[in-house]
Amino acid sequence: MIDTELAHKATEEDAILLKAVHPTGSKLLRYVGSKWRLKRIPVVGVILSDAALIREVFMDKENFTKIGKGASSALWTPVIGEYGLVNMDGEEHLMLKRSLASSFSNKVCNELVHRVFSTYHSELKERLLSGEPVDIVQEVAHFAYRTLWELIGLPQNRLSQENFDIAVTTLRSVTEGITVTKKNLSARQIEQAKARLLFVEELARETYQNDNDAVTIPGLMKQEGFSEEAAISVVKSLMITGTETIISALPRMTALFIKSDYISYLSEHPEHVKTGIDEALRVIVPTPVAARIATKDIVFHGAKIRKGERLILSTVEASRRYGDFNPFQELDKNIRGLWFGAGVHMCLGLPLAIAEAKELATLLAEVHKEKPLEVIEQTSNDKGHTGSFKKLIIQCRTS
């Protein structure tokens, strides 16, 4: 059983992180979500805060699209190019997603993540058991970046010269300033973001040009007839999505586990780690909203929605309805996994994210079994795209 008092406090403290980065947006979503399942808000769009309605929109490719003013395409395409997957729809999207699927299978992701994490595992465990305070945000940032490097197949000879801290900060800065009300980026924001991504563009170009055996993602795309520009777009998209989400999710999961003392249960029952991760993600919702544009005039659950109108799918508020962090509760089928989206646009990186979370959670449970862990310091990040810690220092209790 979960300690409901500790779990409530841990959940409340997690919610502060989204407020720190989007004070107005999160207040608006919370207010609307607490009153309506579906509500039109001028300038913003039609906000949906109910799991069943959101799932219905995710699954409906006829009436809703990601292309249009205020949707993913408007924000992403000028920065990453047309082939970023996150900003595509229709046949081209499906073709590209199919060709990337083999790189994101459970087997590939589990093996790759395990291999990468094993280079951190012993040292991190030793540092924690020796009583050293460890900033889990920095550890996760390095681990997430390195995992993506290996998954995409970026040049090994460049890895040693790479400054992970600068690279991750640069990647995260690209999505800064994106809010619920934003429908597109200014010319200056686009130029800045493109300039920041030049290093990724160079790495992707080099990989595409040098790989003739389809052993890397750019090489695989080359073999399947995709252009160099398409491969660059995909690499930029993966590097951005694959760092920001993980750096948001894994430290927050760590905090929820330790603060609610669920970590004690996990240290006795590591086989339940996936249940704990799913419930942590339900509370965290690393990408708190998604956007869609109506492709035609429709009536949706009694609301008249005009062609071109924007829908904001507030998965964060839909999830909040299911209460505080509690891995022992049975969840309704509509909410399960909704934080990864659903339908044709469901998160490509899901197996990678779960594999990364499993490695970290298992290590924390192992450490906690030997010496109890506690959070000794934390700071919210007030920049970035989603709620995250700037710092989360954990340590084994000395007495």
CB of 216 to ligand HEM, least distance (A): 14
CB of 163 to ligand HEM, least distance (A): 21
Beta bridge partners of 298: 305
The footprint of ligand HEM on residues 302-341 (CB under 6 A) is 339-341
CA-CA distance, 135 to 295, in Å (whole number)? 46
The window from 9-17, 42-50, 233-241, 327-335 that contacts ligand HEM (CB under 6 A) reads 233-241
CB of 96 to ligand HEM, least distance (A): 8
- Candidates 245, 254, 378, 395: give the one binding ligand HEM (CB under 6 A): 245
Q: Please provide the size of the chain in residues.
A: 399
- Whether residue 300 contacts residue 285, with contact meaning beta carbons closer than 8 Å, is answered with no
CA-CA distance, 348 to 340, in Å (whole number)? 9
Q: Please say which residue, 310 or 395, places its beta carbon nearer to ligand HEM.
A: 310
CB of 85 to ligand HEM, least distance (A): 4
Task: Based on the shown chain and the rule CB under 6 A, indicate whether residue 352 belongs to the binding site for ligand HEM.
Answer: yes
For residue 23, the tally of other CB atoms under 10 A from its CB is: 12
Q: Please say which residue, 6 or 52, places its beta carbon nearer to ligand HEM.
A: 52
Phi, psi of 391 (to 5 degrees): -145, 135
- Candidates 97, 182, 194, 205: give the one binding ligand HEM (CB under 6 A): 97
What tokens does 285 get? 């919702």
CA-CA distance, 319 to 285, in Å (whole number)? 8
- DSSP 3-state assignment of 20? helix
The window from 216-224, 280-288, 303-311, 370-378 that contacts ligand HEM (CB under 6 A) reads 280-288
CB of 55 to ligand HEM, least distance (A): 11
- Candidates 293, 348, 365, 392: give the one binding ligand HEM (CB under 6 A): 348
Task: Based on the shown chain and the rule CB under 6 A, indicate whether residue 287 belongs to the binding site for ligand HEM.
Answer: yes
In angstroms, how far is CA 176 from the centroid of its own chain? 14
- Whether residue 220 contacts residue 244, with contact meaning beta carbons closer than 8 Å, is answered with no
C-alpha dihedral over 44, 46, 48, 52, to 10 degrees? -150
Q: Total residues at the site for ligand HEM (CB under 6 A)?
A: 24
Give just the sign of the alpha carbon dihedral 182, 188, 192, 198. positive
- Candidates 10, 38, 51, 246: give the one binding ligand HEM (CB under 6 A): 246
Buried b (16+ CB within 10 A) or exposed e, 131-161: eeebbbbbbbbbbbbbbbbebbbbeeeeeee
Q: Please say which residue, 150 or 261, places its beta carbon nearer to ligand HEM.
A: 150
Beta bridge partners of 374: 395
The bridge status of strand 310-313 relative to strand 290-294 is antiparallel
Q: Please say which residue, 257 or 339, places its beta carbon nearer to ligand HEM.
A: 339
- Candidates 18, 256, 280, 347: give the one binding ligand HEM (CB under 6 A): 347
Q: Please say which residue, 39 or 282, places its beta carbon nearer to ligand HEM.
A: 282
Contacting residues toward ligand HEM, per CB under 6 A? 72, 85-86, 97, 237-238, 241-242, 245-246, 249, 281, 286-287, 290, 339-341, 345, 347-349, 352-353
